Structure formats: structure tokens, C-alpha cells
Amino acid sequence: MDARLNPYGNQVATDFMKHVVAAAGVTRKSTLPASTRELVSLRVSQINGCGFCVDMHTKDAAHAGENPVRLNLVAAWREATVFTEAERAALELAERGTRIADGAGGVPDEVWANAAEHHDEEQLAALVSLIAVMNAFNRVNVMIQQPAGDYQPGQFH
């Protein structure tokens, strides 16, 4: 299976992807824990049905030492006991920020307040940025039908 479009195959796509990749890099420089970044990236990708990003973030997280049980439970985080309160707050913000169209008014104040209770302003900015950039990556990959399964840990780092 091949993608419909090579995201680096023409100048428009290359220029766009260069900026999205750079935006993602900003979040890696923040104080938001790497494990939280991977869990949020995985959850956003699950919601959006982006197989390529689910593959990538699962493999990168496992390669970095993340517990396989936690990775397997990300989709059911509300019922799982393996996540910290800070991670749960980040996952809830990720879900609400990804499903904006599903709820009138966007992200509820109580969801934001919960995230702010566990994350400082820099980490909140990183979470908002990460959720936005993951949604951009997911949309590109889903539209072009980027195949999943062949990603190697650290391939893009």
C-alpha cells in the first residue's frame, strides 16, 4: 500500500511539513515530560484514526521504556489505574481539544482547570501546541492514507 501523496514530494507539501515538524520540535524542548508527550500523541492519533502516528508513538514510547500495559490502556485511560493524575488531566485535555466539534463550547473550563492544577504555564502551552500539531499530522496522514506498520523507533529524530 502506498500513500496517495508523498508529503515531501513537491515544494508545497515539503514546505508545509517542514513547518509542522519544526512546531512539533518546540514541544520536545519544553518541561512537559516525554512520557506525557507520547501518551498524548498516541491518544490524539487513536481518536483521529491515524494508523501511522499510532504506530510511531507506540513504538517510540516503548523504545524509550514506556510500560506496554500503559500503552495498551491509553484508549481506555478513564478506567485505567496506571496513569498519574497529571497524565489523566493531559489525556482529558487531549481528547477535548481533539474533539472540539463534538462538544458545544470547545474545551470546558473544568477540563482546563484540571490540566492547570497539574501543569505549569509552560507545560500547558506545550500541551496545547502538541495537541494542535498532532491533529495536523493526523489529518495529513489520514487524507493521504499514509501506511502504518513499517515505522522504526527514532526514525524521524
| Successive 10-residue mean pLDDT values, the chain, 157 residues | 89 94 94 96 98 97 95 98 98 96 85 98 98 97 95 84
Output the pLDDT for position 8.
86
What is the predicted pLDDT for the residue at 102?
83
> For residue 94, which of 65, 117, 74 has the smallest C-alpha distance?
74
Domain ranges for the chain: 30-144
**pLDDT given for residue 89 in this prediction:** 98
Q: Looking at domain 30-144, which of 1.20.1290.10, 3.40.1080.10, 3.50.50.60, 1.10.150.130 is its CATH number? A: 1.20.1290.10
pLDDT value, residue 105: 77
Angle between helices 85-98 and 109-118 (to 10 degrees): 140
pTM score over 0.85 = yes
Cell (9 digits) for 102: 463534538
Taking Cα atoms as reference points, which of 149, 142, 156, 120 lies closest to residue 31?
120
Per the CB < 8 A criterion, the answer to whether 131 and 94 are in contact is yes
